[in-house]
Amino acid sequence: MDALYSLIHGFGVLADPMNIVYMFVGITLGVLIGVLPGLGGANGVAILLPLTFAMSPTSAIIMLSCIYWGALFGGAITSVLFNIPGEPWSVATTFDGYPMAQQGKAGEALTAAFTSSFFGAFVAVVLLTFLAPLIAGFALRFGPAEFFAVQLLTFCSFIGMGREAPLKVIASMMLGFALAAVGLDTVTGQLRMTFGSTELLRGFDFLIAVIGLFGIGEILLTMEEGLAFKGKNARINPTVVWQAWKQLPRYWVTAVRGAIVGCWMGITPGGATPASFMSYGLAKRFSRNGKRFGRGEMEGVVAPETAAHAAGTSALLPMLTLGIPGSPTAAVLLGGLLIWGLQPGPLLFVEQRDFVWGLIASMYLGNIAGLIVVLTTVPLFASILRIPFSIIAPVIITICAVGAYTVSNALADISVMLVFGVVGYLFKKLHYPLAPLVLALVLGDMAEGSFRQAMLLSQGSLSIFWSNGLVGSIVALALAMLFWPLISSVIARLRGGAKPIVAAD
């Protein structure tokens, strides 16, 4: 009940008209940031952070957090319409969102994405409101071994629970790990696979790779197929929102599972990107329509969007209670707190009660405002598909180039983007999955760092991954997912000759 009374007090803090204005301004800016590939929520918040120094800490954090919510919503827009993830966590949304747009169902895909995002965030905010002390104590138990176990769980679930051929998944993932290793080794200071090039010292930035693999790769493939958008004849009207809402209740299990995965990955912290991949993989494995995933299945949009938004929202919990950011954007917000003289931790809930509960209240209203803003503009965004390819293709390439350049303000990144575009084109032509490559590129450095720290702590003994019940249970679950095809075939035989599911090449 104390949490409920505090939340009511937070809504009172939010009742200031200027805070409401800042909330809508933040949502709108966030959607625009989410649409533009290369910017991202963290970059957008960092760029706009100086503008908030003249505001009160409460108003500033409300606006910046709403930029984050808007970016989470906006990342789905280009993923569905152009197969270009506006944000890293929107990559999994392209797998079924873009095929839906090609089939003339852009409105349904966007409505499903936005509504699922809202649901995932709502679950995470409720969790943050009422379970903060318990979860904060649990998160304190995570060390390098636990972090690596979570990342291992993500990799294993992709290999063992996906529908693609395991060997192709592993080959794609290994390439991603190799690309993630390029650059300066932060532990030893050694250069790895730079081949004397100064441009490779920074390694391959994830956003540049994603823009090339999905954006430029899709442009090249579309050019080969006849210079036309398959979904250009899509027609949409306001009733499409209601039609999509009528279908969404049948996917409630997927949505709940995605919210749980997202909250778990946000709190531990694993991040919104692996959460979206993991949720998509689980949905694909356990859905009755799993074989149709990747061809325009609405459930394939619901799963990653619910998890991504739940993870993005719940990532603020360890940041507020422990001072441990659960995402890059939370890290930027943490910097803002320190600039404003606020020290994250348990005492923040006591010493800065108005600030904390005003922020939590803004999460409720901010997500409602975000849902309203994006849903009212669904017809506008879906109508983009009617623009002829010969006009929109140069615009997309220009946006991709600008997005790649703005990551580090380096012209060499545009060349890297084009190279990744060719790689993406070849992968699609050879029917190799791009998602494992992207996943390994995102988590490769993090997984390597966590593993090496764990090895240093244990003096080289792998027993650290079974040293306690928490890390042991996560590793056991990861191994179960890795060998799930074998396990499922054994179970099927024990049940009396039921035909096991074999991954198709």
Each residue of 57-86: pLDDT tens digit? 778 878 877 887 787 777 788 788 777 776
Angle subtended at Cα 263 by Cα 257 and Cα 268, rounded to the nearest 5 degrees:
130
pLDDT at 382 over 70: no
What is the pLDDT at residue 292?
81
Predicted local confidence at residue 379, as pLDDT: 65
The answer to whether residue 231 scores a pLDDT higher than 50 is no
Q: Where are the alpha helices (DSSP H) in 231-347?
A: 239-247, 252-267, 272-286, 299-314, 316-322, 328-339
Work out the mean pLDDT of the chain and round it to a whole number.
77
The SS3 assignment for 115 reads: helix
CA 20 – CA 117 distance, rounded (Å): 21
* pLDDT at site 350: 66
pLDDT at residue 230 in the model: 45
For the beta carbon of residue 280, count every other beta carbon within 10 angstroms. Answer: 33
DSSP 446-493: HHHHHHHHHHHHHTT-GGGGGSSHHHHHHHHHHHHHHTHHHHHHHHHH
Whether the ω angle into residue 269 lies within 30 degrees of 0, i.e. cis, is: yes
- What confidence tier does 87 reach under pLDDT thresholds 50, 70, 90? low
Phi, psi of 184 (to 5 degrees): -90, 125
Whether 403 is covered by a domain: the verdict is: yes
Q: Which residue has the higher pLDDT, 223 or 331?
A: 223
In a domain, 164, yes or no: yes
Asked if residue 481 has pLDDT above 60, the reply is: yes
d(CA 144, CA 152): 12
Model confidence at 119, in pLDDT bands (50, 70, 90)?
Answer: very high
What pLDDT is attached to residue 232? 39
Q: What is the DSSP letter of 177?
A: H
Kindly report the pTM of this predicted structure.
0.65
Amino acid at 463: S
Residue-level pLDDT at 503: 46
| Residue 112: pLDDT over 80 | yes
How many structural domains is the chain composed of? 1
Most confident of 102-111, 315-324, 328-337: 102-111
The fraction of the chain above a pLDDT of 90, given in percent, is 1
Q: Stretch 29-51: mean pLDDT, rounded?
A: 67
Within its chain, how far is the Cα of 217 from the centroid? 21
For the chain, give the number of residues. Answer: 505
Domain that holds residue 43: 1-491
Separation between Cα atoms, residue 280 and residue 264, nearest integer Å: 15
Residue 498 lies in a domain: no
Lowest mean pLDDT among 12-16, 164-168, 216-220, 246-250: 12-16
pLDDT value, residue 234: 42
Q: How many CB atoms lie within 10 A of CB 47?
A: 15
Does residue 497 sit within a domain? no
pLDDT tens-digit map of 284-325: 888 887 778 888 888 889 988 898 888 888 877 777 776 666
Q: How confident is the model at residue 256 (pLDDT cuts 50, 70, 90)?
A: very high
As a whole number of angstroms, the distance between CA 435 and CA 92 comes to 7
Q: What is the pLDDT of residue 128?
A: 80
pLDDT digits (tens, 9 = 90+) for 413-454: 888 888 988 988 888 888 887 778 877 887 787 788 888 888
Q: What is the pLDDT of residue 504?
A: 44
Average pLDDT over residues 164-188: 82
Residue 385: pLDDT band by 50, 70, 90 thresholds? low
| Per-residue confidence (pLDDT) for residue 355, from 0 to 100 | 75
d(CA 106, CA 379): 9
